[in-house]
A and B are shown apart, each in its own frame.
Chain A
Amino acid sequence: KAGVTQTPRYLIKTRGQQVTLSCSPISGHRSVSWYQQTPGQGLQFLFEYFSETQRNKGNFPGRFSGRQFSNSRSEMNVSTLELGDSALYLCASSLELARERNNEQFFGPGTRLTVL
């Protein structure tokens, strides 16, 4: 079974631009979560989608948004990029909502975003 795939793997943008990242979950998985990883902050939760609906959201500004399609694939969009948005963006998929007690998340390799 193929793992979680994310595209693109690397991205360089300039301040003020917008970017869209894509995530394809493991086949059969319906939940997709997004995380931002930076050296100083570690992983921080952005949001979770399940059945095309946002079910949970972290403490990020409205510039960060996402959506999920009927095939469970998900996209994340960041508008008006800032230097501080430079990070590794990780997508994780799971069978059910992450609120299920021992539900396991499987992470993709991430998209490395650099904002100049």
Chain B
Amino acid sequence: KNQVEQSPQSLIILEGKNCTLQCNYTVSPFSNLRWYKQDTGRGPVSLTIMTFSENTKSNGRYTATLDADTKQSSLHITASQLSDSASYICVVRTFNSGTYKYIFGTGTRLKVLA
């Protein structure tokens, strides 16, 4: 069964600290993996997208990694800021026989405290 699991469910860190969010997937075949940031009351905003051949991709203080062999991805946030408080959602796209599907994780809720 195609699934995307994220951990931890929630996380509280102090401003300025680093953190890493995990995404494990059992989706096959794999097309790409995207990390979204969703602020409370807003729609998700894309942070990074990674294809099979990409190991690392950065977007400012956000760095995503992908290990296609172990089907794991992580999102590392450096020097966290209060504005990083949000839910982070991992999405894996699968494409087969002319149809596609996005499999969403349930997200990690991050709270950054001053």
Chain A residues near B (Cβ < 8 Å): 4, 40-45, 56, 90, 92, 98-99, 101-102, 104-110
Chain B proximity of A11: nearest CB distance (Å): 15
CA distance A71 to B47 in the complex (A): 29
Chain B proximity of A38: nearest CB distance (Å): 9
Chain B proximity of A7: nearest CB distance (Å): 14
Report, nearest first, the 9 A-B pairs whose CB atoms are least far apart. Answer: A107-B43, A42-B106, A43-B104, A99-B100, A42-B104, A107-B44, A108-B43, A109-B43, A90-B43
B93-113 near A? 1/0 per residue, CB < 8 Å: 001000111101111000000
List, in ascending order, chain A residues with CB within 8 A of B95's CB. 99, 101
List, in ascending order, chain A residues with CB within 8 A of B91's CB. 43
**Is there an interface contact between B45 and A107, defined as CB atoms closer than 8 Å?**
yes
Chain B residues near A (Cβ < 8 Å): 31-32, 41-46, 49, 51, 89, 91, 95, 99-102, 104-107
**Is there an interface contact between A101 and B51, defined as CB atoms closer than 8 Å?**
yes
From DSSP, what is the main secondary structure of chain A's interface residues? loop
**Is there an interface contact between B105 and A42, defined as CB atoms closer than 8 Å?**
yes
B4's nearest neighbour on chain A, judged by CB, is A42
Q: A44-B104, A45-B102, A102-B32 are in contact. Are A110 and B89 (CB under 8 A)?
A: no
Offer 9 A-B interface pairs, CB within 8 angstroms, sorted by A: A4-B43, A42-B105, A98-B102, A101-B95, A102-B32, A104-B49, A105-B46, A109-B41, A109-B43
**Is there an interface contact between A102 and B44, defined as CB atoms closer than 8 Å?**
no
Chain B proximity of A86: nearest CB distance (Å): 16
**Is there an interface contact between A41 and B42, defined as CB atoms closer than 8 Å?**
no
**Is there an interface contact between B43 and A92, defined as CB atoms closer than 8 Å?**
yes
A9's nearest neighbour on chain B, judged by CB, is B41
List, in ascending order, chain A residues with CB within 8 A of B106's CB. 40-42
B109's nearest neighbour on chain A, judged by CB, is A39
Of B43, B99, B104, B107, most buried by chain A (CB within 10 Å of CB) is: B43
CA distance A109 to B43 in the complex (A): 4
Chain A proximity of B43: nearest CB distance (Å): 3
